[in-house]
Amino acid sequence: MSADLSFGLELLVSGLLVGVLYAMVALGFVLIYKASDVFNFAQGAMTFFAALALVSVLPRLGWPLALLFVVALMTALAVAVERLALRPLAGRPPLALAMSTLGVTFALGGLAQALWGTEPHRLSLGISAEPIQAAGILINRVDLFAAGAVAVIVAALIWFFQRTKLGLGLRAVADDHEAAMSVGIDLRRVWVVAWTLSGLVAIAAGILWGNRIGVGFAVSLIAFKALPVLIIGGIDSIPGAIVGGLIVGATENLAEGFIGPLVGGGVQEIFPYLVALVFLMVRPYGLFGRPVIERV
Amino acid sequence: MRMRRLWSGSAAASLAAILALLVASGPAPGASSGGVLTVPQPIYRTGAYAAGGSGFAGGREDYFALLNARGGLDGLKVQWSECEDAYDTARGVECYERTKKDMVVVWPSSTGITYALVDRSIADKIPMVTIGYGRSDATDGKTFPWIFPVLGNYWSQASSFIRYIAASVGGEGSLKGKRIALLHLDIPYGREPIPMFQDLAAKFGFEFRNFPLPAPGLEQSAAWVDMARRFRADYVIQWNFGQSCTVPFTAMHQVAFPIDKFMGVWWCGSEEDVRPAADLSKNYVTSNFTGVGRNFPVIQQILATVYKNGKGNIDEARVGTVYYNRGVIEAAVFSEAVHNAIKQFGLPVTGDKVRWGLEHLNFTEARLHELGLTGMIPPVTLTPDDHGGVSSAYFQRWDGQKWVRIPGLWQPYADLVRAQIAKSAAEYRNQKR
Amino acid sequence: MLYRECGVYRTSYAQDAALFPLPADRLGTAALVLAAVLLPPVLGTYWLRGILIPFLVFSLAALGLNFLTGYAGLLSLGQAAFMAVGAYAGVILYGRYGVPLPLALLGAGLIAAAVGAAAGTPSLRIKGFYLAVATLASQFLITWTIQHVPWISGGVFATINTPTVRVGGLVLDTALRQYYLALAVVALLTVFGMNLTRSRIGRAWMAIRDRDIAAEIIGIRLLKYKVLAFVVAAFYAGVAGALVVFCWYGSANIEEFDLVNSVRILGMVIIGGMGSIVGSFLGAGFVTLLPILVSVGVHKAGALAAGGAANGLVSSLEDLIFGTMIVLFLVLEPLGLARLWKTIKDYLRLWPFAY
């Protein structure tokens, strides 16, 4: 029994740590949805684009400069996407905007591979790969670093939203577009800020995931892992993304470890969705999501 | 408003430009007319598997360039073309349909496209050469007259793994009681070796368990914790593809699983799979069906002839890599089959004749030496009933910089493999009655 | 002036309820059907197998999804999974149990519809984006089940090949015959669908899409119509999946029905126009044919480049161009190609006059 317990504990810890990484990806979606009600299909492609850009310029520029370059690049990209793919569709049904971001996905993927090639790259963070021993289980150092990084980013985001004028503007826009416009908040500027923030989050996610799985096209597929996170936590809630990520990560691993052998394995993808469905039955907008109030 | 007019203008203009380009195309010549042998290739240079696709295409095209530089393939100049299918089955089928009138062979380079084209290739009389992938039971030439694995199928490879592990533990007798895990993508490709491993487990008394990873298999910590802590595997074999081949190196480090007990299938054994993991992948062993590296006469000739004039079809640094060499071998097998066909039937070259050529493929040591392929592939002889596939595998180890071949050839347990092939082919015939 | 509505008098209920009340529409549709039937023998196998059959198959799937997403307003990302159910059900019924082909197609649709009913039950409680992701659960669950249950998957390859496809005594082994089968099925189901959307069920769906609470208040039973929407969408997808097996690939392979294809079909519905039958076809054409068009065009242009090494760049540019064209067309007409078509028809109504 104790073997099972220790096995379960190790699954849980590694699951929680990877859940933090899922939350990182989910944050990108949340930021954009909060500000503009758009589901950004391109988040995965943006993550891949940022990671590939970084590894491609890293050998020539070295760390601080390369990071700055990528930050500037993603900001420019965010501005370009907002101006070219979204602003012309302002006021249109959200699905049209979502589909536009799907087009951006193809375009970004193609652009990244055209600019920087199709070879997978290595992204090293300079952290030793030796795991840490604690309570009889092994914990990955990089995962702990990632958890720390995510905590810092979330704290920064929370500070941004609570204390800065721009952040308050974003929250106002998320609450009610028209009311925000009527008090003089520039909607377009807010959208650009939201997309830039999401781009920066994509850089962080790209670095962490690129380090974990290598920087290649598959990095853009990580975004799909964020979907159950979004519906458990609520698509417009930052704490929801974190909580949802932790739940999804833990569920994945525990389900695969304990229920997998009973049914033939390979259930780690389905289980978060099943758990999400159960959550949704009780709270149809996710744990922390804002219920949509419909007027009849 | 101006913006919208700008957008609509550009949309219309780009569509018109594409249509104009399309229209400005003439009919392509037949497959071998006027001293030219056309070789259209559906290939993928984008997407998650782009490294593989570009490697194949580069290897094949360079080999053809070498032939052309020497006067061609029995006097025919080889003219290749590419059709991008992005590893998508629908587009692969469309590429095939578009170019098949000039085709005398097709390399689907993707399992999905292989399955979709099985019936077509029969009707269109174009042989399919699926070296190292596709259907393992296609070795049975009677059931699959138009599909040629030639050098290795998955079941053969699976049994070679067991033979390799047996050699490491001191003989088949010592396999009893060992625990062998298969870490695989939960797709047909990944599940294919399971019956073979189960048969071998029954025969040798080792414990076998498979750990499926839902595609794309990028998150593997649950499987690794299980394999390392609960199942306590003695050996782990990975049967993945794409970036899911790279993830294990970090994941196994997390659970302190030793790398020398980890090995990979030949689709997880390319430079692109191990480089992103840097030092963590050192000493990783995989199987292969071709030799790797540049130390072969034909590769040296390609470097000297084709790349000297800067007319290579791939980044020169990739010459001699795993996927590249596989492309070279695919082209070499095809060229040999065409050579056989011309010798037997003369011109023009048709798919049916190339099929005959493939069925009478006879790569003896002497012939390999003539072609400069010594060491790249083991000698192989095909017959109309045996389209190849039950063959010995090479094993190679990554030393951090390049792949180094482990000396020796690991034979499959041919009787078990053939039994599996017979069973599966019978099932196919039953489905198709 | 070319597309006239005035001067058309309807003197009976039958005329009023006709599917194509305007002569211009009737002529146009007749011409289209005539072209679809008479042109293919001239076109050759490439156009049939490479372009038209995929187009028909995906149009059918997109049509089904359009009922669910466009008419009933329920976002679903599980359409490819329903296609998978139909594909395997069809080939098992036909291949393993010898059920005649038309019944096998029907059976495939019905089995997929049953699965769709189960998959649609969360729609009563969940809405919008959350529903879309919830349908992903059914996408993954169905795919997993098909692969892991040997009775369904037919063995380790999870691929079931179909025996010779015959209807009665007629063997469907040429591209032309396969095309006609697909055309017949798609035409039949399209007419059925057109009538469905004009009926009480269609109106109930549209009411649910606009304001489901209000719809419930006026007496439309949400349970019945939402699940019915899933059932119909899954039925169409199931038949489309069976057509993939019998008319296109010749085998049911689970890898062809993955999430990427679900997203693609949703893309066809949105780009084509939600809530429009014509839109489903236009969208399917756009998404299946445009990449090929772009690929051929770009490679011709890139043929000026040297050697194979540049081909990678050219292929990546294809994706870039395809994505940009999606954005361009959406900006041009956010409501989809069907609305664009309607705008053209409106223009033709007045042309050459200005108003």
- The average pLDDT across C148-156 equals 87
Give the whole-number percent of chain C exceeding pLDDT 90.
Answer: 59
Tell me whether the omega of the peptide bond preceding residue C352 falls within 30 degrees of 0, making it cis: yes
What are A143's two structure tokens?
A: 């995962």
What residues in A contact B48, CB-CB < 8 Å?
Answer: 216-218, 221
pLDDT of residue A63: 86
Dihedral pair phi/psi, residue B396, rounded to 5°: -140, 155
Nearest-CA residue of chain C relative to A100? Answer: C327
Quick one: which of A207, A213, A202, A248 has its CA closest to A105? Answer: A202
The amino acid sitting at A13 is: V
Report yes or no: A175 and A185 within 8 Å, Cβ to Cβ: no
Distances (CA, A) of B27 to B16, B94, B99, B100, B296: 21, 17, 11, 13, 39
Q: Is B226 on the interface with A (CB under 8 A)?
A: yes
Rounded Cα distance between A136 and C195, Å, is 66
Distances (CA, A) of A287 to A239, B36, C84: 10, 67, 33
The sign of the dihedral angle between the CA atoms of B399, B403, B405, B406 is positive
Q: Is A121 on the interface with B (CB under 8 A)?
A: yes
**Contacting B residues, span 297-336, partner chain C, CB-CB under 8 Å:** 311-315
What are C99's two structure tokens?
A: 């059920």
Q: State the Cα angle at B165 between B160 and B168, rounded to 5°.
A: 130
Distance in angstroms between the alpha carbons of the first and the last residue of chain B: 62
DSSP notation for C153-220? H-STT-EEE----EETTEE--SHHHHHHHHHHHHHHHHHHHHHHHHSHHHHHHHHHHH-HHHHHHTT-
Q: Say what angle helices C128-148 and A270-282 make with each other, to 10 degrees.
A: 140
- Selecting from C147, C159, C321 the residue whose C-beta is nearest the C-beta of B115 gives C159
Rounded Cα distance between C137 and C120, Å, is 11
Given a contact as 3+ CB pairs under 8 Å, which chains touch B?
Answer: A, C
Cβ distance of B275 and A222 shorter than 8 Å: no
Q: State the Cα angle at B362 between B360 and B368, rounded to 5°.
A: 150
Report yes or no: A125 and A211 within 8 Å, Cβ to Cβ: yes
**H-helix or E-strand containing C232?**
helix C222-243
Q: How many CB atoms lie within 10 A of CB C141?
A: 20
Cβ distance of B315 and C309 shorter than 8 Å: yes
Tell me whether the omega of the peptide bond preceding residue B348 falls within 30 degrees of 0, making it cis: yes
Residue B285 C-beta-side C-alpha neighbours within 13 Å: 19
Tens place of pLDDT per residue across chain A (296 aa): 577 888 899 899 999 999 999 999 999 999 998 888 888 989 999 999 999 999 999 988 888 899 999 999 999 998 899 888 888 887 788 888 888 999 999 999 999 988 998 888 888 888 877 788 887 778 888 888 889 999 999 999 989 988 998 888 888 887 777 888 899 888 888 888 999 999 999 999 999 999 888 898 889 898 888 999 998 999 888 999 999 999 999 999 999 999 998 888 889 989 999 998 888 888 888 888 888 777 77
Tell me whether the omega of the peptide bond preceding residue B216 falls within 30 degrees of 0, making it cis: yes
Identify the band that residue C20 occupies on the pLDDT scale cut at 50, 70 and 90. confident
Cβ distance of A10 and B214 shorter than 8 Å: no
Q: How many CB atoms lie within 10 A of CB A209?
A: 28
- The average pLDDT across C9-27 equals 86
Identify the band that residue C156 occupies on the pLDDT scale cut at 50, 70 and 90. confident
Cα of C132 to nearest chain A Cα, Å:
10
pLDDT of residue B160: 95
> How many beta-carbon pairs below 8 A join chains B and C?
171
Cα of A112 to nearest chain B Cα, Å:
10
Cα of C241 to nearest chain A Cα, Å:
23
Buried/exposed code over C293-305 (b: 16+ C-beta within 10 A; e: otherwise): bbbbbbbbeeeee
Strands (E) located in B274-433: 285-288, 362-363, 380-381, 393-398, 403-410
- Selecting from B8, B15, B112 the residue whose C-beta is nearest the C-beta of C255 gives B112
Rounded Cα distance between B150 and B380, Å, is 8
Rounded Cα distance between A140 and B253, Å, is 8
Q: Is C212 on the interface with B (CB under 8 A)?
A: no
Rounded Cα distance between A278 and B182, Å, is 33
Rounded Cα distance between C287 and A10, Å, is 45
What residues in A contact C127, CB-CB < 8 Å?
Answer: 284, 292
Residues in chain B with pLDDT < 70? 1-33
Rounded Cα distance between A109 and A104, Å, is 8
* SS3 assignment for B182-204: EEEECCHHHHCCHHHHHHHHHHH
Cβ distance of A88 and C217 shorter than 8 Å: no
CA A200 to chain centre: 10
Report yes or no: C287 and C58 within 8 Å, Cβ to Cβ: yes
Counted residue by residue, chain C has a size of: 355
Q: Say what angle helices B351-359 and B322-345 make with each other, to 10 degrees.
A: 100
- Residue C114, Ramachandran bin (φ over 0: left; ψ between -120 and 50: alpha; else beta): alpha
What residues in A contact C318, CB-CB < 8 Å?
Answer: 110
**H-helix or E-strand containing B426?**
helix B414-431
Dihedral pair phi/psi, residue B291, rounded to 5°: -75, 160
Q: Is B240 on the interface with A (CB under 8 A)?
A: no
Q: What share of chain A is helix, strand, coil (3-state, %, to 5)?
A: 75, 5, 20
Buried/exposed code over B392-410 (b: 16+ C-beta within 10 A; e: otherwise): bbbbbbbeeeebeeeeeeb
Q: Which residue reads 């929407």 in tokens?
A: C229
Distance in angstroms between the alpha carbons of the first and the last residue of chain C: 11
Q: Is C321 on the interface with B (CB under 8 A)?
A: yes
Rounded Cα distance between A45 and A28, Å, is 12
Q: Is B186 on the interface with C (CB under 8 A)?
A: yes
- The average pLDDT across C27-38 equals 92
- Selecting from A120, A138, A256 the residue whose C-beta is nearest the C-beta of B276 gives A120
**pLDDT (tens digit, 9 = 90+) per residue, C202-253?**
999 999 999 889 999 999 999 999 999 999 999 999 999 999 999 999 899 9
Dihedral pair phi/psi, residue B117, rounded to 5°: -100, 0
Q: What is the largest CA-CA distance in chain A?
A: 63
Report yes or no: B55 and B44 within 8 Å, Cβ to Cβ: no
pLDDT of residue B33: 65
Higher pLDDT, A223 or C2: A223
**Contacting C residues, span 168-207, partner chain A, CB-CB under 8 Å:** none
Q: Is C124 on the interface with A (CB under 8 A)?
A: no
CA A19 to chain centre: 11
Nearest-CA residue of chain C relative to A105? Answer: C323
pTM of the model: 0.92
CA C153 to chain centre: 25
Cβ neighbours of residue B80 closer than 8 Å, sequence gap 6 or more: B38, B39, B40, B41, B60, B61, B64
Nearest-CA residue of chain A relative to C266? Answer: A99
Q: Say what angle helices A270-282 and A226-233 make with each other, to 10 degrees.
A: 20
**Contacting B residues, span 79-118, partner chain C, CB-CB under 8 Å:** 82-84, 86, 89-91, 93-94, 96-98, 100, 111-112, 115-116, 118
Quick one: which of B251, B349, B409, B408 has its CA closest to B31? Answer: B349
What are B276's two structure tokens?
A: 């992103």
